[in-house]
C-alpha cells in the first residue's frame, strides 16, 4: 500500500519540488485574480451558543450556490452572493460541537440579517473540526482519519494526566497508564513505528508544539516515575482535542508527527457568554488500590516449616529468610522480631494495612470576560493528591491567562500564558527495589505484624528496627526517612497576530515557547539496603534539567471559489529551536547522618553537566480543492531543514495527498429510502521524514568528573557517530468510510491503514575490532496494519426526553518488525532475569523471549528429574506485549436534569512477564502456593505431570510445594500471563440543579456529580493490575514488577456559576 | 496606513518564510559538551584513561582472579568455583575479547594518531607500546585474532579479518622496534603518564624488555626469529632495577583503586593455590607472608587450597586456607579488617625481575647472543629483584639464594629453576605465568584439579560469542585455520 518510488522521485527531484511550489503559488495567484466578484445580495449576522457566547469559525453557507463564509472572533459573518442568484435559498450554519442550523432566506439583492443560535452537539460525521495547523475545516471534506473530543468527555471524571482521559474514547490509540501519583502514561497511535526511538505522538497546544518529555527514571530495576510533560496541561483549560491519527493527517506537522499528533485547543474568553462569567469547580475523590494480590495466610516466614528469630540475619532458625515456607500459622509460640514467644498467627491484612486511602482534591476558578472587541480568560487550579503509599503526595498549581482582541476589523491579536508548578514528595520507587512496597511484600513473612513496623523504625541503640535484617528495610522507614522531593515548573506562552489582508487572504504570525525546569533530590538514610553504601552514613542524588522549545510560524491562507470549486491554499514557514541543560551530582556515601550536602560527602561526588541545542526550519504548504462541497482533494508538502543531519541530507521534502467524496451528496438518491443519510469515502497517502537526535554525526570524546589521581581523563565512546545519516521515513496510507444510518441513529467512522517506517536511525552492533561496539546507522523497517472504527448509537430516545447514547471504539493493530539490519535478527529492548523484550525480525515489536521447560518430544509434557521439572537451556518467544485489539464502550443516559454515563475500557490479548507473580510464587507468599502444602511438612504434596528423564515414564515422585516453587527459577514460561482486561473505567452521575432551586442563592447554574474511576476490573491476570508496566518506554511494556496498581477512585464534583 | 499594515504583515510572513528556507543549521550541531575527534583533547588525557583501563583489565579481578591466576595456579577459588573447574562466563570472555578493541586499544590509537600528526615519538611510541602489550595478552589467550585491520572505525573494513598468530607476533615485534627507535629525550606526556611520568628513557627500556618477552614466547615455534629478536632487544637499553618496572600506581580514591583490593572489599572467594604454596614452602620462600595471610583457623599456618574442587569441598577449606596477602586488602572489608593499603598497591605490567629471568633463560639456552655462563648472574638478579619488589630485603634474598634448592645449578635443572622462580615472581600476573607453562611445562606441578571439567589444562580460551553475530565469516575462517574453537586447541607458539 505504499509507493516509495513516487515518494523518492519527489524527494530527489528539484523539479518536483518546484512543481509543488507552483501548485500552491498558482492557487494563491488564481485566488487573487477573481477577487473582483460582482456584488448583489449581502447576508450578515451573528452566530452564538445557547449561552449567548459568540461562535467564531462557524461555517455559514448556501449549499445550492456554494456561497459561504466563516464567522469572525465575535461570531459575525458576511456573505456576498453574486447578482445572478435570486430567489429563495437555504442558509446553513455549522460549527464543531454544535447541531447544524438552517434558515430560509430570499436572495433579493439587498442586505439581509440572519442570526443563529446553535445547540451543542458532539461532533460525529459532520461539523467543523480543528485539524492540522489548528485550521478549522468541515469534517465532511477531510480525507484522513481524525477524531475530535470535547471538554466534557475529558473532565467528566477528572484525571491528573490528560492522556489517561483519552483511554477508551478514541479509536486507533493505545494507552498504558500508571498507578503512581502523577505517573507517566504512554500513548501510541496506530502502533509503534520506531525500533529504538520515540513512538509517542506530537502534542500541539493552540498551534504551538509542547514537550511530552518523559521524566521517569523508572525501569524494571528501580527508579521513580516523575510523570511526563503532557500531564502539565490542565484538562479544565481544554476546549477540544483532535487526534490526528498517523502520518496522513499529521503530515503538515512534520518529523515529530510521524507517530500522529494530538491537537489541543484551549478555552478562550470567546467560549463564554458576553460579559463577565465566573465559574468555580471543586472535585474531591478518595483513592484506593484497585487490585491487591491474594496472599496465603496459612504459613509464616521461614523454610521447610521452621523458623525461630534471633537476629533476623540468619543467626536463628531460618530467620534471615524472606520467604513464607515456615511453620503453619496455628498460634504456636515462636520468637519473633517484635518479641519472644509470641503467638505464630497470620496477619491477613498486613499488606493492605500498609497502604492508606489516598485522596485527590482539586479546586479551580475560571473567569471569562467577553466583549465585542476583546475577550479574556483566566483560570487557576490547585490539585492536591495524597497517594496510597504512606507519606507520598503531589501538589500542582496551574494558572492560565489568555486574551484576544480585535485591533481593527482586520487585525486580531491573541496570546496566552500558562504556568504550572508540580511538587512531588516521596514518590515510591518502581521495579525491583526496596523502595517499591510491592517488591518488599513479595519477599515477606505472612505472619509479620506491620503495625509493629509502623510503631517504631529504630531500636533502642539507634539501629534500624525491622522484621528482617538480611535483605530488607522497614517499609515505613523507607517511606518516612528516605525522602524524595521533586519540582517541575512549566511555562507555556504564545502570541499571535492575524491580518485579514483581503476577504480571501489572511496572514498570521505566531510565536510560542514551552519552558520547563525539573529538579529532583533523593536522600537515602544510613542503612538503606539498595541505595546507601554500608560503609557510610547515607547517600544522596540530585539532578536538574531545564529545557525550552520555541517556535515562530508564519502562515498565509487564501480561500476562493471558482464556480463549484472551493479552493484553499496555505503557505507557511516555521522556525523551531530546542535548548536543554542538565546538571547532576551524587555521592554514595556521606559522613554525618542526614546532612545531604556536598560538603558532607565521604565519597568523592560524581558530577555532570551537559547541554543540547537543535533546531529545524520548515516551509510547508497545502492546497485543498472541494468540488460542489462533496468531492475534496488535498495535497500537502513540507520541507524541513534540520540541524541534526549532515548538510547534504539536512533538507528533506515529503508530500501527502488525500481525498474524500461524500457519496450521499453526489448521489442524493441513495438517501431516499431513509436507511443511509450520509455516506463518505476517503483515502490518502503520506510520507513523513524524521531527523536524528543532536550530535550523532561526529564522534566526541567522553570525559568524566572523576579524575585519575587528579589527572583529567577522556575516552572515545563505544558508539561511533555517522557523518552520512539520512532522514528516517514513515509511509502511511489509509482508506476510510463514514456512514450515517437510520436517520442518524447510527454512525460509523472506520479506517483501514498501513504505516511503514524505514531507514530508522539507531545504534547498530558492530564488530568491536573496528574500535566501536556500535554505530549510528540508517537501517530497519517496521510496519503496522490495522483497523480503527468508531460507532455512535442513539440507542434510545423517548418522547419524555429520556435519551440513551452509546459510543463504541475499536482498534486492531498488527505490527511486524520487517527488517533490522543485514545479518541482524533481533534487538533487545529490555532485559530482566535473562528474559528479554525484543524486536525480532518477522515478529511483532516487543516479543517476550525467555527460558522454557524441557519437554518430552512424544507427550509434550515437562521432563522431570527427582520429581522436579527441568529447565531448558534455550530461550523461546513466549508472548508478545501487543494487544490483539482494544476498545471502549461508553453509554450516556440523560433524563431532564440528570445524566448517567459510563465507560468500559477493553483490551484483548497481549502478554507480559509478571515478575511479581513469578517471585511471589517462589517466595511462597501468594495464595497460589498453597496447593501441595495444605498438609503437614512430612507429607509433600505435588506430583508434577511430567515424564521422568531416568525412567522415561510418567513422573510419580512427590515434591514439596517449597521445592516445586523454588525450582521455577530460571524458567519464566509459567510467569507469562495475558494482560487482557475489561475495566469499568468511568461512571458519572450528574445533576444540573434546576434554576428554580437556585433562586436567591446568587447562583446561575450548579452542577453536582458523583464520579468513579477504575471501579472494577475483569481479568484473568492474577494478583496484580494487568494494565501496569514497569515504565512507559519502549522496553518497559512487557514487565510487571508488582507496580503500584491504578487506583479506584470515588468522588464528587461541583461546578458553580455564580 | 492600510498599505503600511499590509506590507508589514506580508513582509513579516515573507521574511519568516525566507528565514525558514535557510538551509544550513548544521552549525547548531556542534557538541558543546565534549571535544570531537577532529579537535581532540590533549593526548595525555586520553593516555591516562587508556592506561587505567588496561591496568584495570589485566590487573583486574575478572581477568586474573577468575581466569589467569587460576590457570597459573597462584590462586584457587574457595567458593563459586566454576572458573577453577574451567567453566568460564560468556560475559567475561566477551569483555576480554571485544572490549579492548573499543576501549583502551582505540584510545591508544587516538594518542598514536595525535603523536604521529605532531611527529612526536615521545607521544605516539608509548601508545604503540601499550597497544602491543594489549595485543600480546589477547593473542596469547586466543591465538589468531583481528590485528592488522583493526581500529579504523567506520572508514576501515567493518568486519576485520583474523591475522595468524605468527604474523601478529612479527607485527608486534616490528612495532616495538619502531617505538623504541622513535623515543627521544624529554617528557612529552609528562605527569599524564602514570607509568613512567613521561620518562622516555624508561619507556625505551620497557619497549625493549617487552620485545624480549615476546621473542622468548616464540622460542619454540620460531627459534631463528626468537634468537635474532632477543639479540636485538638485548643490544638496546634494558631495565636495570625495580625503578624501571612498568606498573600502574592506583590513586586509591574509591574510584580508581587497585582492582584486587576493590574485589576483596566485598568478595571473599579466593585463597592461595596449594600448587604455589607448596613450592614456596619447600623453598622457605620469604615472600610467603607477603603473598599470603595465615589461615583463620590457625594464625601460625600458611596453607594453600587445591585448585579445581567442587563447591562444597572448596567451601570446607574456607577457614583453613590462606587468603591472598594483606597488601592486596583495602583495610576494612565487608567480612573483616585485614590491614594493608591495597587500594594504592600497584598493578605490574612488566618487571625488571621478569626481564632478568628472560635473560637468564636465553643465557641458559645459549640464544640471543648470551652464553650459559651469564645465566647465574641474571637468575640471582631476578630473584633478588622480585623479593625486594614485593617488600623483602636484599639480605632475605641472599639467604634464599643460598638455599641448596634455590641456588642456581645450571643445565636442565637450572632452566627449571629459572622458570620456577619466574613463575613465583609473576604472582598477580597470571597470564604470563600460564603462557610460560604452556611453552615450557614448568612448573610440572600444574595440573587440572579433581573436579575440573577436562583432564588437561586449557591451552587457550574460546572466542567471544559476539563474534559469531557480528564477524562470523572471519571467525569461521580463523577456526578453520587454527583448529577447533576449544580450550584444548594449541596455538602457533604452543605447538
Residues of chain B with confidence (pLDDT) below 50:
1
**Per-residue model confidence (pLDDT) at position A955:** 93
Provide the chain B residues 244-303 that lie in CB contact (below 8 A) with chain A.
251, 253-256
Going by C-alpha positions, the residue among A134, A621, A571 that lies closest to residue B14 is A571
**Is the minimum CB–CB distance between B33 and chain A shorter than 8 Å?**
yes
Reported as a single tens digit per residue, the pLDDT across A707-728 is 999 999 999 999 999 999 999 9
Q: Which of A254, A498, A714 to mutate to test the interface with B (most CBs of B within 10 A)?
A: A714
Which range, of A71-85, A213-227, A772-786, A794-808, averages the lowest pLDDT?
A213-227
- Burial of A459 from C-beta contacts in 10 A (0-12 / 13-18 / 19+): exposed
Best mean pLDDT range from A71-80, A263-272, A816-825, A886-895: A886-895
Which range, of A264-273, A814-823, B79-88, B367-376, averages the lowest pLDDT?
A264-273
pLDDT of A617 over the 70 cut: yes
**Per-residue model confidence (pLDDT) at position A174:** 75
**Per-residue model confidence (pLDDT) at position A31:** 42
CB atoms within 10 A of CB B181: 13
Do A603 and B254 lie within an 8 Å CB cutoff? yes
pLDDT of A16 over the 50 cut: no
> What's the mean pLDDT in A66-72?
80
In order of their start, the domains of chain B are 43-249+347-482 (1.25.40.390)
Give the confidence band of A66 by pLDDT, cuts at 50, 70, 90. confident
Residue tagged 622516555 (cell numbers): B200
Reported as a single tens digit per residue, the pLDDT across A322-355 is 999 999 999 999 999 998 999 999 999 999 999 9
Instruction: Show the cell assigned to B137.
Output: 595478552
**Per-residue model confidence (pLDDT) at position A939:** 62
- Burial of A378 from C-beta contacts in 10 A (0-12 / 13-18 / 19+): middle
**Per-residue model confidence (pLDDT) at position A995:** 80
Do A701 and B194 lie within an 8 Å CB cutoff? no
Residue A488 CA to residue A420 CA, distance in Å, equals 8
Going by C-alpha positions, the residue among A1048, A1056, A1046 that lies closest to residue A363 is A1056
Residue tagged 575527534 (cell numbers): B37
Strand partners, A376: A369, A403
Closest residue of A to B94, CA-based?
A768
Which range, of A608-617, A658-667, B286-295, averages the lowest pLDDT?
A658-667
End-to-end CA distance of chain A: 56
Residues from chain A contacting residue B256 (CB–CB below 8 Å) = 706, 708-709
Q: Where are the beta strands (DSSP E) in A766-897?
A: 774-797, 803-819, 826-832, 835-840, 847-853, 862-865, 868-869, 871-880, 885-895
**Per-residue model confidence (pLDDT) at position B353:** 98
pLDDT top residue among A181 and B455: B455
Distances (CA, A) of A356 to A87, A351, A360, A392, B319: 72, 10, 13, 10, 50
pLDDT top residue among A372 and A589: A589
Residues from chain B contacting residue A470 (CB–CB below 8 Å) = none
Do A702 and B34 lie within an 8 Å CB cutoff? yes
Do A698 and B36 lie within an 8 Å CB cutoff? yes
**Per-residue model confidence (pLDDT) at position A11:** 43
Residue B68 CA to residue B59 CA, distance in Å, equals 10
pLDDT top residue among B399 and A267: B399
Reported as a single tens digit per residue, the pLDDT across B183-194 is 987 667 999 999
Do A535 and B107 lie within an 8 Å CB cutoff? no
Nearest to A643 among B29, B33, B466 (CB): B29
**Per-residue model confidence (pLDDT) at position A1039:** 80
Q: Is the distance from CB of A175 to CB of A163 less than 8 angstroms?
A: yes
**Is the minimum CB–CB distance between B106 and chain A shorter than 8 Å?**
yes
**Is the minimum CB–CB distance between B119 and chain A shorter than 8 Å?**
no
- Interacting residues of B336 by C-beta distance below 8 A, sequence separation 6+: none
Residue A203 CA to residue A237 CA, distance in Å, equals 15
**Is the minimum CB–CB distance between A643 and chain B shorter than 8 Å?**
yes
Give percent of chain A with pLDDT exceeding 70. 92
Distances (CA, A) of A160 to A181, A233, A241, A533, A957: 8, 9, 16, 36, 54
- DSSP string spanning A43-104? EEEEEEETTS-B-TT-EEEEGGGTEEEE--TTSEEEEEE-TT--EEEEEEEE-TTB--EEEE
pLDDT of A960 over the 80 cut: yes
Nearest to B98 among A535, A694, A768 (CB): A768
What's A255-323 look like in SS3? HHHCCCEEEEEECCHHHCCCEEEEEEEEEEEEEEECCCCCECCCECCEECCECECCCCCCCCECCCCCC
Do B50 and A647 lie within an 8 Å CB cutoff? no
Q: Which of B5, B22, B26 to mutate to test the interface with A (most CBs of A within 10 A)?
A: B26
Strand partners, A887: A810, A906
Give the confidence band of A668 by pLDDT, cuts at 50, 70, 90. confident
**Per-residue model confidence (pLDDT) at position B380:** 98
**Per-residue model confidence (pLDDT) at position A7:** 44
- Burial of A604 from C-beta contacts in 10 A (0-12 / 13-18 / 19+): middle
**Is the minimum CB–CB distance between B45 and chain A shorter than 8 Å?**
yes
Say how many CB pairs under 8 Å bridge A and B. Answer: 226
pLDDT top residue among B65 and A150: B65
Side-chain-facing half-sphere of A1039: CA atoms under 13 Å: 30
How many angstroms away from the CA of A702 is the closest CA of chain B? 6
**Per-residue model confidence (pLDDT) at position A657:** 93
What does the DSSP 8-state code read for residue B433?
Answer: H
Give the confidence band of A153 by pLDDT, cuts at 50, 70, 90. low
**Per-residue model confidence (pLDDT) at position B186:** 67
How many angstroms away from the CA of A770 is the closest CA of chain B? 4
**Per-residue model confidence (pLDDT) at position A120:** 67
**Helical ranges in A420-485 per DSSP H:** 437-442, 450-455, 475-481
User: In b/e form, how buried is each residue of A670-699, taking b as 16+ CB within 10 angstroms?
Assistant: ebeeeebbbbbebbbbbbbbbbbebbbbbb
- Output the average pLDDT for chain A: 85
> What's the mean pLDDT in A550-574?
89
Residues from chain B contacting residue A497 (CB–CB below 8 Å) = 9
Strand partners, A1052: A284, A1010
The dihedrals phi and psi of B402, each to the nearest 5 degrees, come to: -80, -15
Do A773 and B98 lie within an 8 Å CB cutoff? yes
Q: Say what the ipTM of the complex is.
A: 0.94
Amino acid at each position: 500500500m505504499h509507493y516509495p518510488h513516487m515518494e523518492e522521485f519527489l524527494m530527489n527531484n528539484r523539479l518536483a519540488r518546484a512543481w509543488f511550489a507552483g501548485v500552491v503559488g498558482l492557487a494563491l495567484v488564481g485566488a487573487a485574480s477573481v477577487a473582483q466578484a460582482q456584488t448583489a445580495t449581502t447576508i450578515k449576522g451573528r452566530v452564538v451558543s445557547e449561552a449567548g457566547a459568540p461562535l467564531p469559525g462557524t461555517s455559514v453557507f448556501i449549499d445550492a450556490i456554494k456561497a459561504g463564509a466563516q464567522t469572525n472572533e465575535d461570531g459575525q459573518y458576511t456573505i456576498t452572493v453574486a447578482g445572478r442568484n435570486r430567489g429563495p435559498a437555504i442558509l446553513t450554519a455549522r460549527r464543531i460541537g454544535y447541531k447544524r442550523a438552517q434558515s430560509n432566506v430570499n436572495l433579493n439583492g439587498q442586505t439581509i440579517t440572519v442570526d443563529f443560535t446553535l445547540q451543542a452537539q458532539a461532533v460525529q460525521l459532520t461539523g467543523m473540526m480543528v485539524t492540522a495547523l489548528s485550521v478549522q475545516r468541515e469534517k465532511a471534506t477531510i480525507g484522513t482519519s481524525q477524531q475530535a473530543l470535547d471538554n466534557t468527555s475529558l473532565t467528566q471524571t477528572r484525571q491528573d494526566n490528560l492522556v489517561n482521559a483519552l483511554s477508551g474514547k478514541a479509536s486507533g490509540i493505545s494507552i498504558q497508564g500508571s498507578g503512581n501519583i502523577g505517573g507517566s502514561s504512554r500513548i501510541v497511535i496506530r502502533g509503534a513505528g520506531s525500533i529504538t526511538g520515540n513512538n509517542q505522538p506530537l502534542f500541539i497546544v493552540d498551534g504551538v508544539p509542547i514537550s511530552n518529555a518523559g521524566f521517569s527514571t523508572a525501569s524494571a530495576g528501580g527508579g521513580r516515575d516523575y510523570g511526563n510533560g503532557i500531564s502539565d496541561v490542565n484538562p479544565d483549560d481544554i476546549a477540544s482535542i483532535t487526534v490526528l491519527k498517523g502520518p496522513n493527517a499529521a503530515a503538515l506537522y512534520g518529523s515529530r508527527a510521524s507517530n500522529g499528533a494530538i491537537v489541543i485547543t484551549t478555552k478562550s474568553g470567546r467560549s463564554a457568554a458576553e460579559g463577565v462569567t465566573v465559574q468555580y469547580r471543586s472535585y474531591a475523590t478518595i483513592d484506593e488500590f484497585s487490585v491487591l494480590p491474594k496472599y496465603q495466610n496459612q504459613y509464616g516466614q521461614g523454610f521447610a516449616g521452621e523458623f525461630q528469630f534471633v537476629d533476623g540475619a540468619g543467626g536463628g532458625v531460618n530467620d534471615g529468610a524472606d520467604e513464607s515456607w515456615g511453620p503453619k500459622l496455628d498460634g504456636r509460640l515462636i520468637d519473633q522480631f517484635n518479641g519472644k514467644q509470641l503467638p505464630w498467627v497470620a496477619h491477613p491484612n498486613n499488606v493492605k494495612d500498609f497502604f492508606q486511602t489516598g485522596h485527590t482534591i482539586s479546586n479551580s476558578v475560571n473567569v471569562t470576560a467577553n466583549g465585542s472587541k476583546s475577550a479574556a480568560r483566566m483560570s487557576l487550579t490547585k490539585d492536591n493528591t495524597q497517594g496510597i503509599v504512606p507519606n507520598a503526595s503531589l501538589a500542582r498549581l496551574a494558572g492560565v491567562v489568555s486574551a484576544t482582541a480585535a485591533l481593527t476589523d482586520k487585525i486580531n491579536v491573541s496570546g496566552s500564558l500558562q504556568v504550572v508548578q508540580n511538587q512531588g514528595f516521596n514518590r515510591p520507587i518502581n521495579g525491583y527495589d526496596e523502595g517499591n512496597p510491592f517488591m518488599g511484600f513479595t519477599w515477606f513473612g505472612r505472619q509479620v505484624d506491620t503495625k509493629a513496623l509502623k510503631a517504631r523504625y529504630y531500636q533502642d541503640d539507634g539501629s534500624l528496627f525491622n522484621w528482617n535484617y538480611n535483605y530488607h528495610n522497614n517499609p515505613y522507614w523507607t517511606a518516612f526517612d528516605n525522602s524524595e522531593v521533586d519540582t517541575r515548573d512549566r511555562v507555556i506562552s504564545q502570541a499571535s497576530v492575524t491580518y485579514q489582508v483581503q476577504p480571501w487572504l489572511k496572514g498570521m504570525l505566531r510565536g510560542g515557547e514551552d519552558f520547563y525546569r525539573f529538579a529532583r533530590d533523593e536522600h537515602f538514610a544510613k542503612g538503606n539496603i539498595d541505595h546507601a553504601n554500608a560503609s557510610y552514613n547515607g547517600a544522596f542524588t540530585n539532578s536538574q534539567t531545564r529545557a525550552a522549545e520555541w517556535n515562530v510560524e508564519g502562515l498565509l491562507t487564501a480561500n476562493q471559489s471558482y464556480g463549484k470549486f472551493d479552493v484553499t491554499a496555505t503557505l507557511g514557514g516555521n522556525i523551531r529551536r530546542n535548548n536543554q541543560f542538565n546538571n547532576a551530582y551524587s555521592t554514595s556515601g556521606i559522613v554525618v547522618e542526614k546532612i545531604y550536602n556536598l560538603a558532607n560527602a565521604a565519597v568523592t561526588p560524581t558530577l555532570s553537566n551537559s547541554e543540547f541545542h537543535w533546531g529545524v526550519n520548515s516551509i510547508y504548504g497545502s492546497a485543498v480543492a472541494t468540488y460542489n462541497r462533496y468531492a475534496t482533494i488535498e495535497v500537502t508538502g513540507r520541507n524541513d531543514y534540520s540541524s541534526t543531519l549532515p548538510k547534504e541530507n539536512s533538507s528533506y521534502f515529503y508530500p501527502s495527498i488525500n481525498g474524500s467524496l461524500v457519496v450521499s451528496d453526489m448521489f442524493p438518491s441513495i438517501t431516499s429510502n431513509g436507511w443511509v443519510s450520509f455516506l463518505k469515502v476517503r483515502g490518502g497517502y503520506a510520507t513523513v521524514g524524521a531527523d536524528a537526535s543532536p550530535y550523532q554525526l561526529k564522534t566526541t570524546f567522553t570525559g568524566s568528573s572523576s579524575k585519575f589521581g587528579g589527572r583529567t581523563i577522556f575516552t572515545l565512546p563505544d558508539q561511533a557517530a555517522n557523518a552520512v545519516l539520512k532522514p528516517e521515513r514513515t509511509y502511511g496510507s489509509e482508506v476510510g468510510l463514514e456512514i450515517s444510518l437510520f436517520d442518524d441513529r447510527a454512525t460509523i467512522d472506520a479506517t483501514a491503514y498501513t504505516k511503514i517506517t524505514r531507514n530508522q536511525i539507531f545504534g547498530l552492533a558492530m564488530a568491536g575490532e573496528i574500535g566501536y561496539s556500535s554505530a549510528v546507522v540508517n537501517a530497519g523497517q517496521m510496519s503496522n496494519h490495522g483497523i480503527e472504527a468508531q460507532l455512535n448509537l442513539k440507542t434510545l430516545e423517548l418522547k419524555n426526553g429520556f435519551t440513551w447514547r452509546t459510543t463504541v471504539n475499536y482498534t486492531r493493530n498488527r505490527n511486524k518488525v520487517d527488517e533490522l539490519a543485514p545479518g541482524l535478527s533481533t534487538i533487545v529492548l529490555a532485559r530482566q532475569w535473562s528474559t528479554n523484550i525484543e524486536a525480532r525480525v518477522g515478529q511483532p515489536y516487543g516479543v517476550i523471549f525467555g527460558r522454557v521447560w524441557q519437554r518430552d518430544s512424544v507427550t509434550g509434557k515437562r521432563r522431570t528429574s527427582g520429581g522436579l521439572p527441568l529447565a531448558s537451556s534455550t530461550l523461546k518467544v513466549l508472548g508478545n506485549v501487543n494487544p490483539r485489539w482494544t476498545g471502549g464502550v461508553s453509554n450516556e443516559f440523560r433524563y431532564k436534569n440528570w445524566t448517567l454515563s459510563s465507560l468500559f475500557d477493553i483490551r484483548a490479548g497481549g502478554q507480559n512477564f509478571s515478575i511479581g507473580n513469578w517471585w511471589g510464587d517462589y517466595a511462597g507468599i501468594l495464595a497460589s502456593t498453597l496447593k501441595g502444602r495444605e498438609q503437614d511438612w512430612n507429607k509433600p504434596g505435588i506430583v508434577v505431570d511430567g515424564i521422568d528423564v531416568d525412567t522415561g515414564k510418567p513422573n510419580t515422585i512427590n515434591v514439596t510445594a517449597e521445592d516445586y516453587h523454588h525450582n521455577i527459577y530460571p524458567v519464566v514460561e509459567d510467569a507469562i500471563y495475558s494482560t487482557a482486561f475489561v475495566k469499568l473505567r468511568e461512571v458519572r452521575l450528574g445533576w444540573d440543579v434546576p434554576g428554580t432551586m437556585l433562586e436567591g442563592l446568587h447562583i446561575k447554574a450548579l452542577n453536582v456529580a458523583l464520579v468513579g474511576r477504575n471501579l472494577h476490573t475483569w481479568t484473568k491476570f492474577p494478583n496484580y493490575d494487568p494494565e501496569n508496566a514497569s515504565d512507559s518506554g519502549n522496553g518497559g511494556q512487557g514487565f510487571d514488577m508488582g507496580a503500584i496498581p491504578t487506583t479506584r477512585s470515588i468522588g464528587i464534583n461541583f461546578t458553580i456559576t455564580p | 496606513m492600510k498599505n503600511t499594515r499590509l506590507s508589514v504583515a506580508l513582509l513579516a510572513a515573507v521574511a519568516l518564510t525566507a528565514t525558514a528556507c535557510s538551509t544550513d543549521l548544521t552549525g547548531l550541531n556542534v557538541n558543546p559538551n565534549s571535544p570531537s575527534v577532529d579537535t581532540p583533547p590533549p593526548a595525555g588525557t586520553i593516555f591516562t584513561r587508556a592506561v587505567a583501563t588496561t591496568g584495570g583489565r589485566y590487573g583486574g579481578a575478572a581477568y586474573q582472579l577468575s581466569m589467569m591466576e587460576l590457570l597459573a595456579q597462584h590462586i584457587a577459588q574457595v567458593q563459586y568455583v566454576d572458573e577453577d573447574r574451567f567453566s568460564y562466563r560468556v560475559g567475561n570472555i566477551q569483555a576480554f575479547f571485544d572490549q579492548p578493541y573499543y576501549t583502551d586499544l582505540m584510545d591508544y590509537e587516538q594518542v598514536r594518531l595525535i603523536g604521529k600528526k605532531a611527529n612526536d615519538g615521545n607521544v605516539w611510541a608509548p601508545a604503540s607500546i601499550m597497544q602491543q602489550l594489549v595485543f600480546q595478552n589477547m593473542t596469547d589467550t586466543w591465538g589468531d585474532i583481528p590485528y592488522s585491520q583493526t581500529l579504523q572505525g567506520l572508514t576501515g573494513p567493518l568486519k576485520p579479518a583474523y591475522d595468524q598468530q605468527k604474523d601478529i607476533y612479527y607485527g608486534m615485534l616490528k612495532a616495538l622496534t619502531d617505538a623504541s627507535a622513535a623515543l627521544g629525550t624529554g617528557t612529552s606526556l609528562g605527569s599524564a603518564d602514570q607509568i613512567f611520568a613521561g620518562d622516555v628513557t624508561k619507556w625505551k627500556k620497557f619497549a625493549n624488555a617487552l620485545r624480549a618477552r615476546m621473542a622468548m614466547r616464540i622460542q619454540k615455534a620460531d627459534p631463528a626469529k626468537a634468537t635474532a629478536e632477543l639479540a636485538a632487544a638485548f643490544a638496546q637499553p634494558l631495565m636495570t632495577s625495580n625503578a624501571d618496572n612498568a606498573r600502574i600506581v592506583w590513586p586509591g580514591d574509591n574510584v580508581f583503586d587497585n582492582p584486587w583490593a576493590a574485589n576483596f572489599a566485598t568478595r571473599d572467594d579466593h585463597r592461595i593455590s596449594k600448587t604455589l604454596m607448596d613450592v614456596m614452602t619447600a623453598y622457605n620462600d620469604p615472600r610467603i607472608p607477603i603473598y599470603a595471610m595465615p589461615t583463620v583457623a590457625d594464625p601460625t599456618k600458611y596453607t594453600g587450597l587445591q585448585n579445581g574442587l567442587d563447591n562444597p569441598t572448596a567451601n570446607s577449606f574456607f577457614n583453613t586456607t590462606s587468603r591472598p596477602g594483606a597488601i592486596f586488602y583495602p583495610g576494612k572489608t565487608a567480612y573483616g579488617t585485614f590491614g594493608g593499603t591495597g587500594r594504592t598497591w600497584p598493578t605490574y605490567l612488566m618487571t625488571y625481575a621478569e626481564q632478568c629471568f628472560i635473560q637468564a633463560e636465553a643465557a641458559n639456552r645459549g640464544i640471543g647472543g648470551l652464553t650459559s655462563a651469564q645465566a647465574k648472574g641474571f637468575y640471582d638478579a631476578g630473584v633478588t629483584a622480585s623479593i625486594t619488589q614485593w617488600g623483602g630485603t636484599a639480605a632475605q634474598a641472599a639467604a634464599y639464594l643460598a638455599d641448596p634448592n634455590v641456588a642456581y645449578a645450571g643445565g636442565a635443572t637450572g632452566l627449571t629453576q629459572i622458570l620456577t622462580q619466574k613463575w613465583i615472581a609473576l604472582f598477580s600476573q597470571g597470564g604470563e605465568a600460564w603462557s610460560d607453562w604452556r611453552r615450557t611445562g614448568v612448573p610440572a606441578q600444574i595440573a587440572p584439579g579433581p573436579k575440573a571439567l577436562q583432564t588437561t589444562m586449557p591451552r587457550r580460551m574460546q572466542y567471544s560469542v559476539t563474534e559469531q553475530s557480528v564477524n562470523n565469516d572471519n571467525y569461521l575462517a580463523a577456526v578453520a585455520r587454527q583448529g577447533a574453537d576449544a580450550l584444548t586447541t594449541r596455538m602457533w607458539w604452543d605447538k
